[in-house]
Amino acid sequence: MLPYHTLQEAEVALGRGLTLPQTIWFKYSANKPDFLLHCHNSLFLLFFYSIAPIPFLLMELGGNYKLNKHKIQPKVKRTFWEMFKCYKDVVHTFVIAVTPLQIISYPTIKWIGIRTGLSLPSGWELFWQILVYFVIEDYLGYWIHRMLHYKWAYQKIHKVHHEYSAPIGLSAPYAHWAEIIILGIPAFIGPVLVPGHITTYWLWFILRQIEAIETHSGYDFPWSCTKFIPFYGGAAFHDYHHYVGEKTQSNFASVFTYCDYIYGTHKGYQYIKQKGRENSTYTKKYKMK
Ligand SMILES: [Zn+2]
Ligand SMILES: [Zn+2]
């Protein structure tokens, strides 16, 4: 909640006129308690989870030849009802795990000083903070994911996420509630270490979720703009991890590839890629299954 009642009051206090984004932010947030602004995160996550996978869902159901040739595991077809069940299960986990986690984390968010005021982040601040959040989450997530592949953790927790050996966009957050909480922690660490504005905080979670949906989409488009991001894993990279399943020793990182290269957990994937190149496309291995 802002400490000003009117736009004029805010302008007098700041000693200058408000920019357009600041005016919009003032009108939106001036009378909303910080807790309510923090809880927006859950709504945004649910909203973007509900709309971002729709293009992939339509591609899967439409069966367009031109798009289908970019499908990583083309022999696996999902029906509408299979996808709807996935959505329903994820929303259930969302209600029992994500929302309580968001509420519980509020005192921490307050304590570290995520700001809600009129000093909105510049484009540069947004860029570098979100980049730092991605790198931190990716590194910690890599190790947690590796631990989730230990026998006990896999059987009790991570097995649920691997039910999809050919993932779809909707299955990105399809996981045991404990995994949602465990893997949610690295996503909070970035904002805790480098706190910013609440709009940066919202944007971070939205981008991370869209990235996970694209990574699980089951489609690898050569024209995707993510191909220009250095060390970006993408759909084919993570799809291979799902394809091999429990016994995989490859591709544990969630966003970038550098952890797998540094710690040597890229070799299985590298071998398949090499084999694929010899057979014109690396997806050939999947298609021959
Ligand atoms: Zn895994
Ligand atoms: Zn996955």
pLDDT of residue 289: 40
Supply 194's token pair.
Answer: 């480098």
pLDDT of residue 278: 66
Half-sphere exposure at residue 66, Cβ-oriented, CA atoms within 13 angstroms: 0
Instruction: Place 16 in a pLDDT band, splitting at 50, 70 and 90.
Output: confident
Cβ-contact 69, 221 below 8 angstroms: no
More confident residue, 63 or 86: 86
Main-chain dihedrals φ then ψ at residue 225, nearest 5 degrees: -65, -20
Checking if the pLDDT of 255 tops 50, the result is yes
Ligand number nearest CA of 265 is: 1
Cβ-contact 138, 259 below 8 angstroms: yes
pLDDT of residue 203: 97
What mean pLDDT comes out for the span 26-55?
92
User: What is the whole-number distance in angstroms between the Cα of residue 169 and the centre of ligand 2?
Assistant: 10
The most distant pair of C-alpha atoms in the chain lies apart, rounded to whole Å, by 69
Ligand number nearest CA of 246 is: 1
**In whole angstroms, what is the distance from residue 259 CA to residue 256 CA?**
7
Main-chain dihedrals φ then ψ at residue 138, nearest 5 degrees: -65, -45
User: What is the whole-number distance in angstroms between the Cα of residue 176 and the centre of ligand 1?
Assistant: 12
pLDDT of residue 286: 53
User: What is the whole-number distance in angstroms between the Cα of residue 9 and the centre of ligand 2?
Assistant: 49
> Percent of the chain beyond pLDDT 70?
95
Ligand number nearest CA of 171 is: 2
Of 103-107, 116-120, 260-264, which one has max mean pLDDT?
Answer: 260-264
pLDDT of residue 288: 40
User: What is the whole-number distance in angstroms between the Cα of residue 146 and the centre of ligand 1?
Assistant: 7
Per-residue pLDDT of 175-214, as tens digits, reads: 999 999 999 999 999 999 999 999 999 999 999 999 999 9
Question: How many CB atoms are closer than 10 A to CB 280?
Answer: 8
Torsion on CA atoms 205, 211, 215, 217, rounded to nearest 10: 90
Ligand number nearest CA of 252 is: 1
- What lies within 8 Å, CB to CB, of 162 at 6+ separation is 154, 242, 245, 246
